């Protein structure tokens, strides 16, 4: 039932949909075909969505791919801890069931452009912010990239010595900066890391720092094309 409902919603958005009945099948499909995004059910037989997502991220790291496949969790669990578990596993976002078309479409729109390409930065919103001033936009991009790389380096250094206070502070700075640049997925990753550091959720921090680095890399790559 959930598959059929999700499939029909996506088809009405003019998406091409491939169904996998469990996490193991999902890995097979992804190995065979290039997808623009994955809607990952968390609870599945054979292999659950958390395990499948970790396998996908491990494969991306081994292959050193520049493109990160957007993975959106589908789950009836809507508590904050469930969202944190999704992010820690390597998922990019969380959509609750039962699915609602507007919510699903908005979530996909955060990660994909109209042609299906990865959308790390909302460039239309960024252009509106700078009012078409190319020099100002270039200055913002250069400042953001420089400060973002510095924040990440300081977070990685703090992680080595288990300095959670510094991790939280630098993640907070990057959260605000990326929100100003309309890099919303990066801002979410920074917010999740900040919350984990503040609550001393040590078991989640390694994965969240890695995710933050991947999203920052994606943002910088997109900004490099427009600067």
Which residues span the domain enclosing 129? 123-224
C-alpha 88/C-alpha 69 separation (Å) is 15
pLDDT in tens, 16-47: 899 998 999 999 999 888 888 999 998 888 99
Per-residue pLDDT, 143: 94
Span 96-112, pLDDT tens digits: 888 888 788 777 877 77
- Per-residue pLDDT of 209-226, as tens digits, reads 988 998 898 899 889 877
| DSSP string over 68-99 | ---EEEEES--SHHHHHHHHHHT--EEEESS-
Residues 103 and 128 in one domain: no
| Domain termination residue (choose one: 86, 111, 136) | 111
Residue at 117 is within a domain: no
106 with 10, same domain? yes
pLDDT at 93: 83
Q: Is the previous residue joined to 217 through a cis bond, with omega within 30 degrees of 0?
A: no
Do 138 and 105 lie in a common domain?
no
**DSSP conformation class of 112:** B
169 and 205 part of one domain: yes
- Grouping H, G, I as helix, E, B as strand and the rest as coil, residue 111 is helix
**131 and 220 inside one domain:** yes
Residue 117 has pLDDT above 60, yes or no: no
Question: What pLDDT score was predicted for residue 97?
Answer: 80
Domain shared by 6 and 107, yes or no: yes
Dihedral angle computed from the Cα positions of residues 164, 168, 174 and 175, in that order, rounded to the nearest 10 degrees:
140
Q: Is residue 78 part of a domain?
A: yes
Report pTM.
Answer: 0.56
Domains contained in the chain, number = 2
Is 82 found in the same domain as 16? Answer: yes
Is pLDDT of 115 > 60? Answer: no
Residue 116 domain-assigned (yes or no):
no
- Reported as a single tens digit per residue, the pLDDT across 130-177 is 888 999 999 999 999 999 999 999 999 999 999 999 999 999 999 999
* Assigned domain for 118 exists: no
């Amino acid at each position: 039932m959930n598959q059929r409902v999700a499939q029909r919603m996506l088809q009405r958005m003019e998406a091409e949909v491939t169904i996998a009945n469990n996490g193991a099948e999902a890995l097979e499909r992804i190995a065979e075909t290039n997808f623009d995004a994955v809607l990952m059910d968390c609870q599945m037989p054979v292999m659950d969505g958390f395990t499948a997502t970790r396998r996908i991220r491990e494969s991306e790291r081994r292959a050193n791919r520049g493109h990160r496949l957007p993975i959106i969790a589908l789950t009836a669990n809507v508590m904050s801890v469930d969202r944190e578990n999704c992010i820690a596993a390597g998922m990019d976002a969380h959509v609750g069931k039962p699915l609602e078309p507007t919510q699903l479409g908005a979530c996909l729109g955060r990660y994909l452009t109209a042609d299906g390409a990865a959308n790390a930065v909302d460039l239309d919103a960024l252009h509106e912010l700078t009012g078409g001033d190319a020099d100002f936009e270039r200055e913002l991009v250069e400042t953001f990239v420089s400060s973002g790389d510095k924040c990440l380096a300081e977070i990685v250094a703090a992680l080595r010595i288990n300095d959670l206070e510094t991790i939280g502070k630098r993640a907070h700075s990057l959260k605000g900066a990326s929100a100003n640049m309309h890099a919303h997925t990066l801002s979410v990753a920074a917010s999740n890391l900040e919350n984990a550091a503040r609550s001393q959720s040590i078991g989640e921090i390694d994965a969240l720092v890695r995710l933050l680095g991947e999203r920052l890399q994606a943002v910088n790559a997109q900004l490099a094309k427009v600067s």
